[in-house]
């Protein structure tokens, strides 16, 4: 036998052996599937392929190279997961949410308690027990079920993740951080397929982010109307700018703020802000929303949480019943989702501020978008309102501000139909009285960090259908359009904050103010205004979206319509126009006029 024939036989033998091994593995897998009833994909898709795809087309070749060469995590590397469970009787819940705001319906204005919601719409205890048993069998520990049974948290390792959800985890470096992402869609046994919606925590590549900030801005590129001024504002001025008149303060209403990290300085600065402005004591508390043993040391968001709290109190008229900081231990999507859920299970804050966002496709792929919606549905059912910033990169949220000009994307959770999405404006005040409103345009600042779009978020969701109250004849789309309203966000006309106990010379050096903006300012302005309207109406108002879309188009006196500006670049993006548009929604609110309208319109936000 010649040498070639010997090599051929050896190769064929190896091939035969490989096929046999593969067939045996396939047979073993098929037998295992038959034994365990098979597996079902959750809404959590493989995140690493998404990262690799995005990185391959991005300017950063370092990220693309790192993602392409990602390596398996060590089996013992610690991983915390958060399972988002599906609602029970969701069709009935959707009907209830519609009837809740339909005059004449038996369910009209009959908000539910947290206990009633869990009883009627949460997974059953038996279903949750089955999920917990699966986690324990895979090796997870520290398993905690949320009071409303919508979330289950657990601690494990890369090995337990693979056993429980049939996906590997790979790590790589991004912007100096060691990150990881799941290689495949998360799966659960078929018996749990109708119960488990998402498995969060399988990636830490994409984080929630806050908005824009900078020293006092240069207004030379603004066309300022005759007789108007473009100046930064003490947050207390937002009451007069948006015409509160004699509308009572929010002294009867508790507000919540989704926040993260160490809030010691934020609480101290809120007290200093109140003292500086003669507002009296602002009652506040911090509710830590992470699992036992979580660390709350991050201070990078201090200025953001300062802006949220000080802008809310200022727009609320200088008084709220209480400010509750719902404090997450990290900016991961799973940690922030857990904070949302704590708000609804506590059910003490009537209005909740979220000055955070993330690329919608990332939230969708991880499954947090679907989980967030279940939580926000509970908020609506209970009469709570989430106010969410629309994003600060114009029509290009997912591009990081350096966009393909004709490719539009939006921010989550602003895309949820169960929140009020708040866009951004540049507010001009009277030159003779900078606490009095003059006009507004769409916030779009091309002078700050050229090459990056800093403008109000807005556009249309790629995944969320338009809610019943947002007609396609109004928006021109069958998808959820955002924002719903808009308020001051321009860093050139933004908020002068107390930071580290001072209002100047601290952050940026002598001669500069701690001037902050972005839709991270616009959202708390609306939060404070809506809390004020709640107090003025006995905390009897519910989620206002359907009433906003029903009444605002035909009652011009309650809004300041923004009809000038654009949130894109180079002629792209969305343009402001009369009525609703995808830059500032219906515009800003005239507080006094809207309060008067509510009091003569019994079904507004009822």
Whole-number Å distance between alpha carbons of 351 and 274: 20
Place of tokens 């990881």: 180
Residue 193 has a CB neighbour count (10 Å cut-off) of 17
Helices 302-315 and 264-276, packing angle to 10 deg:
30
Whole-number Å distance between alpha carbons of 525 and 485: 11
Q: Where are the alpha helices (DSSP H) in 277-405?
A: 302-315, 333-346, 360-366, 368-382
Number of H helices, E strands in the chain: 17, 26
Residue 226: asked if its preceding bond is cis (omega within 30°), the reply is no
Length of the chain: 606
Displacement of CA 319 from its chain's centroid (Å): 26
Neighbouring C-alpha atoms within 13 Å toward the C-beta of 510: 0
CA torsion 496-498-500-502 (nearest 10°) is 90
* 561 annotated as ligand-binding: yes
* 490 annotated as ligand-binding: no
Residue 91 has a CB neighbour count (10 Å cut-off) of 8
Whole-number Å distance between alpha carbons of 196 and 166: 14
The three-class DSSP label of residue 573 is coil
* 562 annotated as ligand-binding: yes
CA distances from 185 to 44, 181, 201, 212, 338 (A): 6, 11, 13, 34, 21
The catalytic residue among 198, 309, 334, 520 is: 520
Across the chain, which distance is largest between two alpha carbons, in Å? 104
* 445 annotated as ligand-binding: no
Whole-number Å distance between alpha carbons of 132 and 303: 39
Whole-number Å distance between alpha carbons of 488 and 494: 7
**Over the range 106-137, which residues count as b (16 or more CB within 10 Å of their CB) and which as e?**
ebebebbebeebbeebbbeeebbebbbebbee
Whole-number Å distance between alpha carbons of 532 and 317: 7
Place of tokens 């509970």: 378
Residue 34 has a CB neighbour count (10 Å cut-off) of 9
Annotated catalytic, 260? no
CA torsion 56-57-59-65 (nearest 10°) is 0
The catalytic residue among 80, 206, 269, 308 is: 308
Neighbouring C-alpha atoms within 13 Å toward the C-beta of 334: 22
The catalytic residue among 80, 216, 260, 304 is: 304
Annotated catalytic, 216? no
Q: Strand pairing of 358-359 and 411-412? A: antiparallel
Token digits of residue 53: 């795809």
DSSP designation for 109: T
Annotated catalytic, 373? no
CB 409 within 8 Å of CB 361 = yes
Whole-number Å distance between alpha carbons of 506 and 97: 48
Active site residues: 304, 308, 520
Binding site for Ca(2+), residues? 561-562, 579, 581
* Binding-site entries: 561-562, 579, 581
């Amino acid at each position: 036998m010649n040498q070639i024939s010997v090599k051929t036989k050896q190769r064929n033998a190896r091939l035969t052996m490989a096929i046999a091994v593969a067939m045996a593995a396939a047979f073993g897998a098929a037998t295992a599937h038959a034994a365990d009833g098979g597996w079902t994909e959750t809404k959590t898709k493989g995140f690493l392929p998404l990262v690799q795809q995005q990185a391959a087309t991005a300017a950063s070749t370092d990220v693309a190279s790192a993602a392409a060469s990602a390596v398996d995590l060590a089996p013992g590397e610690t991983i915390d997961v958060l399972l988002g469970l599906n609602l029970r009787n969701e069709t009935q819940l959707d009907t209830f949410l519609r009837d809740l705001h339909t005059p004449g319906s038996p369910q009209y204005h009959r908000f539910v308690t947290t206990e009633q919601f869990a009883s009627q719409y949460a997974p059953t205890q038996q279903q949750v027990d089955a999920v917990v048993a699966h986690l324990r069998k895979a090796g997870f520990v520290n398993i905690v079920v949320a009071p409303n049974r919508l979330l289950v948290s657990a601690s494990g390792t890369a090995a337990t993740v693979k056993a429980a959800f049939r996906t590997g985890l790979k790590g790589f470096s991004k912007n100096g951080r060691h990150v990881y992402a799941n290689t495949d869609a998360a799966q659960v046994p078929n018996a749990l397929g109708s119960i488990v919606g998402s498995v969060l925590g399988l990636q830490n590549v994409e984080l929630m982010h806050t908005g824009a900030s900078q020293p006092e801005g240069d207004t030379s590129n603004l066309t300022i109307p005759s007789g108007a001024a473009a100046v930064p504002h003490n947050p207390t001025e937002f009451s007069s700018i948006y015409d509160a008149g004699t509308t009572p303060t929010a002294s009867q209403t508790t507000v919540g703020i989704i926040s993260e990290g160490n809030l010691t300085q934020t609480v101290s600065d809120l007290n200093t802000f109140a003292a500086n402005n003669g507002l009296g004591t602002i009652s506040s508390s911090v509710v830590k929303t992470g699992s036992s043993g979580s660390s709350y040391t991050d201070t990078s968001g201090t200025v953001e949480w300062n802006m949220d709290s000080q802008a809310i109190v200022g727009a609320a008229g200088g008084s709220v019943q209480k400010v509750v900081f719902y404090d997450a231990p990290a900016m991961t999507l799973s940690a922030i989702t857990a904070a949302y859920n704590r708000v609804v299970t506590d059910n003490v804050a009537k209005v909740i501020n979220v000055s955070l966002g993330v690329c919608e496709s990332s939230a969708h792929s991880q499954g947090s978008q679907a989980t967030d919606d279940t939580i926000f549905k509970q908020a609506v059912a209970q009469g709570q309102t989430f106010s969410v910033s629309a994003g600060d990169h114009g029509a290009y949220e997912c591009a990081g501000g350096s966009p393909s000009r004709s490719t539009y994307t939006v921010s989550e959770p602003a895309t949820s139909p169960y929140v009020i999405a708040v866009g951004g404006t540049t507010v001009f005040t009277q030159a003779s009285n900078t606490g009095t409103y003059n006009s507004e345009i769409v916030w779009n600042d091309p002078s700050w960090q050229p090459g990056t779009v800093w403008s109000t978020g807005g556009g249309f969701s790629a995944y969320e259908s338009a809610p019943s109250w947002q007609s396609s004849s109004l928006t021109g789309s069958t998808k959820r359009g955002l924002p719903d309203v808009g308020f001051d966000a321009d860093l050139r006309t933004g908020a002068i904050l107390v930071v580290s106990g001072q209002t100047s010379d601290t952050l940026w050096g002598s001669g500069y103010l701690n001037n902050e903006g972005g839709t991270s300012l616009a959202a708390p302005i609306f939060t404070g205004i809506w809390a004020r309207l709640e107090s003025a109406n006995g905390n009897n108002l519910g989620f206002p979206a359907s009433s906003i879309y029903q009444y605002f188009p035909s009652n011009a006196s309650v809004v300041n319509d923004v009809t000038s500006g654009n949130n894109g670049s180079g002629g792209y993006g969305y343009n402001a126009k009369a009525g609703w548009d995808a830059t500032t929604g219906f515009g800003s609110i005239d507080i006094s006029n809207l309060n008067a309208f509510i009091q003569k319109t019994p079904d507004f936000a009822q």
